[in-house]
Amino acid sequence: MINTYEEYLKNASVLTVEDAISIYKKMSDSIKACTLEDKMDFWNQTLRLAADYSNTRNRWELLSTNEKISADKSRTMEHDALIASLNVLARIAAAEGIDNSWRDELGDNRKRLGDFACWIAYITGISNR
Per-residue exposure over 111-124, b if at least 16 CB sit within 10 Å of its own CB, e if not: ebbbbbbbbbbbbe
How many residues are there in the chain?
Answer: 129
The answer on pLDDT for 15 being more than 80 is yes
Interval 67-94 mean pLDDT: 97
> Which residues lie closer than 8 Å to 45 by C-beta, 6 or more apart?
85
CB 14 within 8 A of CB 115: yes
CB 31 within 8 A of CB 64: no
What is the per-residue pLDDT for 2?
87
Residue pLDDT, tens place only, 24-77: 999 999 999 999 999 999 999 999 999 999 999 999 989 999 999 999 999 999
φ, ψ for residue 101 (rounded to 5)? Answer: -65, -15
Q: Can you give the pTM of this predicted structure?
A: 0.93
The Cα–Cα gap between 122 and 77 comes to 21
Helix (H) or strand (E) holding 115: helix 110-127
What is the per-residue pLDDT for 45?
98
Q: How far is CA 103 from the centre of its chain?
A: 11
Higher pLDDT, 43 or 13: 43
What is the per-residue pLDDT for 12?
85
Q: How confident is the model at residue 1 (pLDDT cuts 50, 70, 90)?
A: confident
